[in-house]
Structure 1
Amino acid sequence: MAKSKLETGSILDGFTIGELIHRGGMASLWEVKREGDPTHYLMKIPVLNEGEDPAAIVSFEMEQMIMPRLKGAHVPRHVANGDFAVQPFIVMERLAGETLLPQLKHLPLPVDKVAEMGAAIADALESLHRQGVIHLDLKPSNIMFRPSGEAVLIDYGLAHHRDLPDLLQEEFRLPYGTAPYMAPEQVMGIRTDPRSDIFALGCLMYFFATGVRPFGDPQKLKGLKQRLWRDPVPPRKLKPDIPPWFQEIVLRCLEVKAGRRYPTPAQLAHDLRNPTQVQLSARAEKLQKDGFFAVLKRKGEPPRSLIDKPPEREAEASDAPIVAAAINLDDMTPELADKLRRTLLRILERSPEARLAVLNVLKLNRIAMDQTLDEEGNNKHVARLVGLKDWARPMKIAQGRVTYHVLEAIDPADTLLDYARVNNVDHIVMGARANSTMRKILGSVSGKVAMEAPCTVTVVRVRGAEE
């Protein structure tokens, strides 16, 4: 079972642990080497201590899924992943130098330097978007530069991949990101628009050129939502020497509606490198924030009406259904496990494009304080995750077609129903538990789900089981 504590000199999956580079709230970074290889790598290991947010575990899963698919100079080269059943980790190329975070001590920077930096970051975003990935957490601490000048984007725990399940969206449905750089659509829970990264880059360039964050650093959702109707102070109001072309570029990046921003990072990079060709509008000369009535009008509109949601790929539910398997690891006989797997395989064979989500509900106490570690010091959430993967392994489903979700809640039935509604599940498959006096009085989880689910429900029973 995964442990969160390692020490220098220990060997993990062929890698010798070296110096501790950084210990953060969600992960630690270690220098590692392997025998016969002179290269020094970086190993990222998640923190799995008591009380850790389950979203941190899911975020690390996402990073493990996304990083092996990324290529090119703008991402760290992926080397290896570690399984949660032993020790989760990601080994990647160790980049020389520092992130942009230390630059904050020297703000504001000259506009020419900010524009050069912004163009290089836009190049990295263009490469990322062409690979089907939206970063969604662009900020100084997630940007590095190679000696050759290419910007490198790191930390893909909050990223979205167009061809992979979005576990953060499915399990938590909260706005994830870093407050000063989050786009309005991210605040509203939309994680599928590549132009969110353009908004974040606009925030970064504004900050680096003026020394002031365009929307501050709000810590609550109410403060984040203000960027849906309140525009930032124009950069030239803060620093009169900022040229109109730079303000035009930055304020275009910061438009509330994504359709008014640059359509691609490539076009943004072109303007940053060719300032004399930037087409100026009223944005370039603006010296005041929008007036009271303009803000009031925007504030009175439904928030989602301000968001330009990107077109999504259309698919018929019948051709590509989402099938959810609700698995109770605490009350699973070998016979029921086998019958559930056979039932699921028949469903998946009929729909080759179907996606399987394997679910387990980690039931929380209504009154008593819950502990995130078991008696052996193992993280309960991770243990359930490993258990689900072990349960599904005999089905031999292709990677990317199946995902695993541990949902923490007091009421298992309501949680499964909510998951089905929010994620547009087409079919729920679950096992029927043996009868008991308590279930006769209160009703079963499978019974409630079958009665209230907005989709097809198959309840699997073992022949001869107690009724």
Structure 2
Amino acid sequence: MTRSTVTPGTVIDGFTVGDCVHSGGMATLWSVTHEGISVPLLMKIPRVSEGEDPAAIVSFEMEQMILPRLSGPHVPACFGTGDFARQAYVVIERIPGETLYKRLPDLPIAYEEARALVASMAAALADLHQQNVIHHDIKPSSIMFRRSGEAVLIDYGLSHHTQLPDLLQEEFRLPYGTAPYMAPERLLGRRDDPRSDLFSLGVLLYFFTTGVRPFGESETLRGMRRRLWRDPRPPRKLRADYPPWLQEVVLRCLEIEPVWRYPSASQLAFELNNPDQVKLTARSERLQRDPLSTVWRRRFNPELTLPRVKADMAAQLASSPIVAVALDTVEGSQELNSALRMTAERILATLPAARLACVNILKLGRITIDRTLDEQGHNKHIHRMVALKHWASPLKLDENRLTVHVLEAVDPAAAILEFAEANHVDHIIIGARGDSMLRSLLGSVSAKVAAEASCTVTVVRPPRRAALAVQDEKADRMFASGQPGS
């Protein structure tokens, strides 16, 4: 391994080095160009001179292994890597703009702005976790935003890939990371739980909305270990106007035990995108920290000082999807809605951490003025929300697993697709309507959703026996009224 002698003008594997953009404690960043690549590029080169922290070298190896395997808008594109035999480097796209670190002088920021920012970060984490990677260094300086609005996660030197060797775990016993954002289980040597990233995101949300870090600035191992048994002050203790729903989200992210946090980043993003649907518990009302009796119980709980069973990240994420069922509470047949409920029940029975979103479309006219009240004088929106809750009541779901949504739209299929995309829905359940000449010419809502959705779609038909019974009943009515049959 040779000492880096990179200077402006140096050519490395076809990359021409330009100016030094940043000189950090573990690596330097250089602007580079390449004849066959048109996007702006950065070359990251590790510090390998005498006296440098060996962890810097190991973390760079991790980044070299992980970055080329990642894709999508939430990660920087990787264009090349070099080994330590000649010159170690990673070339990535240069994301325009600054990291969130530049926002620290503005703290605390408005609640709505913080909600939108962290919702985007949670969506980015959800995508990263689906690619088998836990970031383990979520903090303001590792987050950027594209001009199109997507959050981009950078710096993967401390990350864990479930399908690659974890060199940091194998070679070092001390936890590496940024102390104020580190999850409690990381202090016990656990690096295989994606909910560790949700804890870090909770720290960031707390910090950005209160201006104070929930666990202070301590960087000593002794100081950090206090979070294994000591909870932070509730945000409402710091700011009297703190929204209860936001405190519910923040404190759930900051639970000491991972099992009490959100089961996935997708579900956290869902809550932040739908704050009116957040189910409030005692967390939302708290003004004081846990009593000392609870703290001492945690302090001397032997289970908290022992590593847990190795987590299966893929199984955990697969068991906590977001399932959306699209219902017609006005014109939908009872048989079809019953069949939809049976299908949802079968799916949820195997997914104990799944969230169910019941969706109804309040169809708007393209040129008409739509009335908010129906013929009986009921508010259409509220009436349909009640109907959705009534439909879901036989499922007996915990209130934290159920939300209802009435969407106003001209195009029902487009509204369902947009809802699924915005909320990272994993599975859509939708009913198939009966045949008609109009639908055969224009296509059905379910057909469009099934054809264009980026997630799994289950199209449900009522049992044939029930459908025949409906047809017989319709024929009987037509016969009794003297109308000719079809």
Q: Which range, TM-score by smaller chain?
A: 0.5 to 0.7
Partner-residue secondary structure (3-state), 2:217: coil
Please name the residue that 1:85 is paired with.
85
Residues 1:313 and 1:290: Cα distance change in structure 2 (over 3 Å): closer
Structure 1 pair 307–170 and aligned structure 2 pair: CA distance change class (3 A): closer
* Counterpart in the other structure of 2:219: 219
In the alignment, the residues of structure 2 paired with residue 140 and residue 52 of structure 1 have an alpha-carbon distance, to the nearest angstrom, of 25
In structure 2, the partner of 1:96 is: 96
Residue aligning to 1:293: 293
How far the C-alpha of 1:36 sits from its partner, in A, is 4.4
Distance in 2 (alpha carbons) for counterparts of 1:312 and 1:90: 29
Mapping of 1:264-303 within 5 angstroms? 264-302=264-302
The aligned residue for residue 210 of structure 2 is 210
Name the structure, 1 or 2, with higher relative contact order (CA <8 Å, separation 6+).
1
**Partner Cα distance (1:59, 1:102) in 2:** 25
Pairs within 5 Å for 1:65-214: 65-214=65-214
**Inter-partner Cα distance in structure 1 for 2:311 and 2:238:** 37
Confirm or deny: 8 A CA contact 1:257 1:308 kept in the other structure. Answer: no
Change (3 A) 1:12 1:311: closer
Question: How far did residue 35 of structure 1 move?
Answer: 2.2
Looking at structure 1, the residues matched to 36 and 269 of structure 2 have their Cα atoms a distance apart, in angstroms, of 41
Q: Distance in 2 between matches of 1:24 and 1:157?
A: 13
Q: How does 1:37-76 map to 2 (within 5 A)?
A: 37-76=37-76
Letter in 1 for 2:202: G
Q: CA RMSD in A?
A: 1.6
Whether the 8 Å CA contact 2:132–2:313 is kept in 1: the answer is no
Shift in Å at residue 37 of structure 1? 3.5
Change (3 A) 1:111 1:89: same
Instruction: Tell me the equivalent position of 2:22.
Output: 22
After superposition, what is the alpha-carbon deviation per residue over 1:342-378, rounded to whole angstroms, capped at 9, x for unaligned? xxxxxxxxxxxxxxxxxxxxxxxxxxxxxxxxxxxxx
- Specify the code of the residue in structure 2 equivalent to 1:212: V
8 Å CA contact 2:228–2:304 kept in 1: the answer is no
Contact 1:256 1:307 in 2 (8 A): no
CA deviation after TM superposition for structure 1 residue 14, in Å: 0.8
- Give the secondary-structure state (helix, strand or coil) at the position aligned to 1:294: helix
The percent of aligned pairs where both chains have the same amino acid is 58
**Which residue identity is paired with 2:224?**
L
Aligned length: 314
- 1:3 Cα deviation after fit: 2.5
Give the structure 2 partner of residue 10 of structure 1: 10
Relative distance call for 1:306 and 1:210 in structure 2 (3 A) is: farther
How far off its partner does 1:140 sit? 0.3
CA shift for structure 1 position 4: 2.2
Instruction: Give 3-state SS (helix, strand or coil) of 2:197's partner.
Output: helix
1:231 aligns with 2:231: yes
Alpha-carbon offset, residue 39 of structure 1: 2.7
**TM alignment of 1:342-357, pairs within 5 A:** none
- 1:50-105 deviations in whole A, cap 9, x for unaligned? 11111110100000000010010000001000111100000011100010001001
The separation in 2 between residues aligned to 1:163 and 1:31, in whole angstroms, is 31
Tell me, yes or no, if the aligned pair for 2:190 and 2:307 is still in contact at 8 Å. Answer: no
- The structure with the largest alpha-carbon Rg is 2
Write the letter of the residue equivalent to 1:300.
Answer: F
Structure 1 unaligned spans of 5+ = 315-467
Tell me by how many angstroms 1:222 deviates: 0.7
Is contact 1:228-1:306 (8 Å) kept?
Answer: no
Q: Could you say what secondary structure the match of 1:4 adopts?
A: coil
Q: Distance in 2 between matches of 1:4 and 1:294?
A: 53
Mapping 1:386-425, distance limit 5 Å: none
**Partner Cα separation in structure 1 for residue 257 and residue 237 of structure 2:** 23
Cα distance in 1, alignment partners of residues 42 and 202 from structure 2: 30
Decide whether aligned partners of structure 1 residues 310 and 300 sit closer, same or farther in structure 2, where only a CA change above 3 A counts. Answer: same
How far apart in 1 are the matches of 2:121 and 2:40? 25
1:347 is aligned to none
Residue 312 to residue 268, structure 1, CA distance change in 2 (3 Å): closer
Q: CA deviation at 1:306?
A: 8.3
Q: 3-state DSSP class of the match of 2:92?
A: strand
Q: Counterpart of 1:96 in 2: which secondary structure?
A: coil
Q: Give the conservation status (yes or no) of the 8 Å contact 1:258–1:307.
A: no
For 1:280, what is the secondary structure of its paired residue? Answer: coil
- How far apart in 1 are the matches of 2:37 and 2:311? 46
- Are the equivalent residues in 1 in contact too, given 2:194–2:313 (CA < 8 A)? no
Q: In 2 relative to 1, CA 14–151 (structure 1 residues): closer, same or farther, beyond 3 Å? A: same
AA aligned opposite 2:91: V
For 1:30, give the aligned amino acid.
Answer: W
Residue 38 of structure 2: SS of its match in structure 1?
strand
Does residue 33 of structure 1 match 2:39? no
Q: CA deviation at 1:242?
A: 1.0
- Structure-2 separation of matches of 1:36 and 1:313: 38
8 Å Cα contact 1:101/1:140 also seen in 2: yes
| Alignment deviations for residues 215-263 of structure 1 (CA, whole Å, 9 cap, x no partner) | 0121111111100110000001101111000000000000000000000
Q: Are the counterparts in 1 of residues 79 and 93 from structure 2 also a CA contact under 8 Å?
A: yes
Q: C-alpha separation between the residues in 1 aligned to 2:127 and 2:32?
A: 28
Find the counterpart in structure 2 of residue 242 from structure 1: 242
CA contact (8 A) 1:206 1:250 kept: yes
Question: Aligned partners of 1:40, 1:13: CA distance in 2, in Å?
Answer: 17
* SS state at 2:20 partner: strand
Q: Distance in 2 between matches of 1:49 and 1:278?
A: 51
- Aligned residue for 1:76, secondary structure, equals coil
Q: Is the CA contact (8 Å cut-off) linking 1:4 and 1:48 kept in structure 2?
A: yes
